[in-house]
C-alpha cells in the first residue's frame, strides 16, 4: 500500500496550494476534491465575479463616453448571456491550467468525497489512503438566514447568482460586505435597478469609517438605493416583495442574500491541520495560500497585515489599522490630485494613510488600481520601513502609485 507524505482534503486555494508546495519539495501528495478543482475562489467566487466586474466596468465606461459625446453609439447594449459564457470560459481555462500543474507535479487527485477515519487514514470512494500528515481544507458555504432560505429562483445565494443567464430588472441585495458591494456594482453597471440593505449603520462595516461614507456617496451618485441600520425580515416569492425591519415593502425580481459565508463543518479531524475558510478565520483566498505556505514550507506571515480588496470601479483596498481603531496621525490625498486619475476619468476616491511615529499603521484606498497600490503599503509595513526612508523612493509619473508618495510627503 502506498503511504503518502500528505493527504489533503479540499482542492481550493488552501488545499491546492499546500499540494503544490509539498510536491515541489519532493513530497508525495494525494489531493481529494469531490467537486471541481479550484474550490469556491475559482468556480463560485473570486474569478467568475471579477470576470463579470470587468465587463460591467467596461460597459459603464462606454456609457460614460457616449454621454460625453466622445463615442457615437446610439444602440449601445450588451449580451449578458455571452458575458456569462465568457465567465465560464475564463473559469474553465484557469481550472484546466491548474489541473495540468497538479498532473505535472504527479499529485494524485481523487474526485470523491473524503473522510478521515484515523490519524493517518482517509477513505474516499471505498478506498483507504494512508498519509503521514493530513490537511483539511474543505472551505465554506453561503450563510443562510432563517426564513430566507435559498431557492435558486427568488432568493439567491452567492453561488446561485453566478448561474443567472439573464438579468433581473430589479434586485434587492442583503448585506454590504465585499460580495454585496461587488454585485451591487455589477447589477447597477448593467442598468439593473439596485437596492442594498445593510444591518449595520454603515456600508462595508468592516472597513475604515471614511471608506464606508465614501462608498455611500458613490452609490448614491450611481443610483444605487441604500438602507442601513435595517434588515430583511421576510420575503414573498409569489408577490415578489421583501419586507424590511423599518416597515418598508420593496418590490424586486430577486433577493440576493449576500450575508457572508460560514465554514463547512468537519465531522472527524483526528488533529489534522485545518486551513482555509473552514478554519473560521480570515476568509480570503490569499490568506488560505499563506496558511498553506507556512504549514508546508515554514514561511511565516503576519496575520495583522493581510490586505483586503473590494473590486469594481473604483477599487477599494485596505490594510492595518482603521481610523476608528485608535488615535493616529493621518493624511488623506484626493485621487483628483493625480494626473493619471484625471486622464483615466477615474476621479472619485482617495489615498488615506494612518501613522504612528515614523511608521505606517494602516492605509485605506479608494481608487483605480487600489488592489495594486495596497501591496506597496503592505511591503513597507511588513518590513518596518520608516516613512522617512519611503520618502527617498522615486515614484514614476504619471501613476496612481505616486499618490502614496504625495501622501507621505504631506506627513
Q: What is the pLDDT of residues 289-347, one digit of tens each?
A: 999 999 999 999 999 999 999 999 999 999 999 999 999 999 999 999 999 999 999 99
127 domain-assigned: yes
Could you tell me if 122 and 9 are in contact, meaning their C-beta atoms sit under 8 angstroms apart? yes
- The C-alpha atoms of residue 211 and residue 216 are separated, in whole angstroms, by 9
**DSSP for residue 46:** H
Q: Which residues in the chain show pLDDT less than 70?
A: none
Do 169 and 253 contact (CB within 8 A), yes or no? yes
Q: What span, in angstroms and rounded, lies between the C-alpha atoms of 247 and 319? A: 37
Q: Are residues 209 and 111 in the same domain?
A: no
DSSP 148: B
In-domain check, residue 403:
yes
Q: Hey, how many other C-beta atoms are within 10 angstroms of the C-beta on 394? A: 7
The total domain count for the chain is: 3
**From CA 332, how far away is CA 350, in angstroms rounded?**
7
Largest separation between any pair of C-alpha atoms in the chain: 71
Q: What per-residue confidence (pLDDT) applies to 42?
A: 97
**271 and 135 inside one domain:** yes
Are residues 249 and 170 part of one domain? yes
Contact between residue 164 and residue 38 where contact means Cβ atoms under 8 Å apart:
no
8 Å CB contact between 142 and 60: no
Strand partners, 401: none
Cell numbers that stand for 376 in this block: 506597496
Residues 403 and 315 in one domain: yes
**Residue 216 has which C-alpha cell?**
455611500
Say whether both 275 and 401 belong to one domain.
no
289 and 316: one domain?
A: no
Same domain as 176, residue 137: no
- Find the CATH number of the domain harbouring 378: 3.30.390.30
pLDDT of residue 75: 84
Judge whether 51 lies within some domain: yes
**Which of 271, 297, 323 is a domain's end point?**
297
- Looking at the fold, whether 324 and 280 belong to one and the same domain comes out as no
pLDDT in the model for residue 268: 84
Same domain assignment for residues 122 and 215: no
Which domain, by its residues, includes 228? Answer: 144-259
Cα separation, 295 vs 340, in Å, equals 41
**Same structural domain, 269 and 250:** no
CATH of the domain at 252: 3.50.50.60
> Pick from 200, 234, 259: which residue ends a domain?
259
Nearest alpha carbon to residue 291 among 275, 304, 277: 275
The C-alpha cell at 110 is: 481523487
* DSSP-assigned letter for residue 145: B
The pLDDT of residue 266: 83
Question: Rounded CA gap, 242 and 251, in Å?
Answer: 7
- The CA R_g of the chain, rounded to the nearest whole Å, is 23
Spatial contact of 20 and 288, defined as CB atoms under 8 Å apart: no
Q: What is the per-residue DSSP string for 62-130?
A: HHHHHHTTSS--TT----HHHHHHHHHHHHHHHHHHHHHHHHHTT-EEE-S-EEEEETTEEEETTEEEE
Q: What is the pLDDT of residue 271?
A: 86
The pair phi, psi for residue 365, each rounded to 5°, is -125, 130
**Are both 106 and 152 inside the same structural domain?**
no
In a domain, 302, yes or no: no
What would the pLDDT profile of 65-120 be if each residue is shown by its tens digit?
998 999 988 888 999 999 999 999 999 999 999 999 999 999 999 999 999 999 99
Residues 133 and 21 in one domain: yes
Amino acid at each position: 500500500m502506498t503511504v503518502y507524505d500528505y493527504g489533503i482534503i479540499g482542492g481550493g486555494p488552501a488545499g491546492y496550494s499546500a499540494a503544490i508546495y509539498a510536491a515541489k519539495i519532493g513530497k508525495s501528495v494525494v489531493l481529494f476534491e469531490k467537486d471541481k478543482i479550484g474550490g469556491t475562489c475559482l468556480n463560485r467566487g473570486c474569478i467568475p465575479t471579477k470576470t463579470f466586474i470587468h465587463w460591467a466596468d467596461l460597459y459603464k465606461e462606454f456609457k460614460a463616453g457616449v454621454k460625453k459625446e466622445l463615442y457615437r453609439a446610439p444602440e449601445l447594449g450588451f449580451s449578458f448571456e455571452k458575458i456569462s459564457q465568457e465567465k465560464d470560459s475564463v473559469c474553465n481555462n484557469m481550472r484546466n491550467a491548474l489541473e495540468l500543474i497538479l498532473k505535472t507535479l504527479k499529485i494524485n487527485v481523487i474526485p470523491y468525497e473524503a473522510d478521515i477515519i484515523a490519524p493517518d487514514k482517509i477513505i474516499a470512494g471505498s478506498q483507504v489512503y494512508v498519509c503521514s500528515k493530513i490537511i483539511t481544507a474543505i472551505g465554506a458555504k453561503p450563510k443562510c438566514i432563517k426564513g430566507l432560505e435559498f431557492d435558486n429562483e427568488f432568493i439567491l445565494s452567492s453561488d446561485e447568482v453566478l448561474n443567472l443567464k439573464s438579468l433581473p430588472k430589479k434586485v434587492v441585495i442583503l448585506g454590504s460586505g465585499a460580495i454585496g458591494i461587488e454585485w451591487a456594482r455589477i447589477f447597477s453597471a448593467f442598468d439593473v435597478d439596485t437596492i442594498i440593505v445593510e444591518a449595520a449603520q454603515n456600508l462595508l462595516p468592516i472597513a475604515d469609517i471614511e471608506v464606508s461614507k465614501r462608498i455611500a456617496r458613490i452609490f448614491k451618485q450611481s443610483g444605487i438605493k441604500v438602507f442601513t441600520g435595517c434588515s430583511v425580515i421576510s420575503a414573498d416569492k409569489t408577490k415578489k416583495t421583501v419586507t424590511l425591519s423599518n416597515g418598508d415593502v420593496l418590490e424586486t425580481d430577486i433577493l440576493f442574500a449576500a450575508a457572508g459565508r460560514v465554514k463547512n463543518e468537519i465531522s472527524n479531524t483526528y488533529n489534522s491541520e485545518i486551513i482555509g475558510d473552514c478554519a473560521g478565520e480570515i476568509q480570503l483566498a490569499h490568506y488560505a495560500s499563506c496558511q498553506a505556505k507556512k504549514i508546508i514550507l515554514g514561511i511565516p506571515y503576519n496575520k495583522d497585515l493581510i490586505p483586503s480588496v473590494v473590486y469594481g470601479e473604483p477599487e477599494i483596498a485596505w490594510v492595518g489599522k482603521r481610523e476608528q481603531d485608535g488615535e493616529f496621525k493621518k493624511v488623506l490625498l484626493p485621487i483628483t490630485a493625480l494626473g493619471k486619475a484625471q486622464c483615466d476619468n477615474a476621479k472619485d476616491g482617495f489615498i488615506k494613510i494612518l501613522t504612528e511615529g515614523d511608521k505606517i499603521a494602516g492605509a485605506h484606498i479608494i481608487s483605480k488600481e487600489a488592489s495594486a497600490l495596497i501591496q506597496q503599503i503592505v511591503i513597507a509595513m511588513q518590513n518596518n520601513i520608516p516613512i522617512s526612508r519611503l520618502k527617498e523612493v522615486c515614484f514614476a509619473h504619471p501613476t496612481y502609485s505616486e499618490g502614496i508618495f504625495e501622501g507621505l510627503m504631506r506627513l
